[in-house]
Amino acid sequence: MPTAADDLGTVVVVTVISLPETVADDLLGPLPDTGQIVVWDGTGERPQRAEEIEFFVARYNAPPPRREALAGLPRLRVIQLLSAGVDHWLPVVPDGVLLCNARGVHGASTAELGIAGLLAILRRIPEFVAGQQAHAWRRLEGDGLVGRRVLVVGAGDIGERVAGVVRLLDGQVTVVARTARAGVHGFADLPGLLPDHDVVVLAVPLTDETRHLVDAAFLAALPDGAVVVNVARGPVIDTDALLAELTARRLHAFLDVTDPEPLPADHPLWDAPNLLLTPHVGGGTAGWTGRAYRLAGEQIRRFLAGEELVNQVHRGY
């Protein structure tokens, strides 16, 4: 355990904390003297005292470092992500190391984008934009959320926020999660629920259980004209199956995430009818950096105080 002496000569136990960038130090908030910061994102040359790192804060929106880089940190106990999604990190987390995500940091902005995309489709905003560009005053009747039957797949932070907005706008909400509980259906209920819903919003983490959860059979069970919204992860949807439905103009979709991602310039999704697409910007609103590092600072203070950490990830959730 690394130590240092204070002005009185007392031996103080020091915990080494790794941050991915220098700006993060100013955003964490005050830390006890027992926390010592090094700047390293797990790539490139290792900093001094890297072998003493116990708490590692990951860089946002970047591939994780190689597993060997993290396995080479003998004191490592916690990896704190600045994202809600953890799928890319699961293969590189060393055994015995606790992984925590940033649940709550991006939930509001991601839910907001999902609702924005859904409303844009229902209210036919892309067609009005085209009319504006053509200087054409065309009144079109759209749909709204009033009375709309919305199936929210995922009962976490994002799913809860989406469901709340739909209810506020007088829509009817059904929530589905991995495990059934009071007021929430389980995945096993999906086949019976799909035909009765006009909208499906996907807000689940990517796991072996949710990969291609939305396949050809899932989509075929939806009624004509239904809208699929994905603010989760691209591979939750079978892209080829969705393309077939969009090309047939039977369904509509709003995607903030795709499979593959980034979407190649020649991919057929770009030109698919009935599709509104954004390039994975659900969490990309002003102020996210401050929110993310405030959470990291709170976690570090809990860790230094020996308290239980929040947002712990177990089995991909």
For 269, which DSSP code? G
Q: Write 21-25 long-range contacts (CB < 8 A, 24+).
A: 21/59, 23/289, 24/57, 24/293, 24/296
Q: Which of 197, 233, 252, 291 is catalytic?
A: 233
C-alpha span between 18 and 28 (Å, rounded): 12
C-alpha span between 126 and 134 (Å, rounded): 12
Q: Which of 59, 178, 252, 280 is catalytic?
A: 280
Catalytic status, residue 67: no
The β-bridge partners of 79 are 56, 99
Q: Report DSSP letters for 34-80, one per residue.
A: TEEEEE--SSSSPPTTGGGEEEEEPPTTSPPPPHHHHHT-TT--EEE
Pairing of strands 3-5, 11-13: antiparallel
- ∠ CA 14-18-22 to the nearest 5 degrees? 115
Helix-then-strand count for the chain, H and E: 9, 14
Within 10 A of 4 (CB to CB), how many other CB atoms are there? 12
Angle, helix 107-122 to helix 157-168, in steps of 10 degrees: 40
Q: Which of 51, 127, 209, 261 is catalytic?
A: 261
Catalytic status, residue 280: yes
Q: Which of 298, 300, 287 lies closest to 18 in space, CA to CA?
A: 300
Q: Which residue has the tokens 């490592």?
A: 76
Structure tokens at 123: 């209210």
Is residue 127 within 8 A of residue 134, CB to CB? The reply is no
Annotated catalytic residues are 233, 261, 280
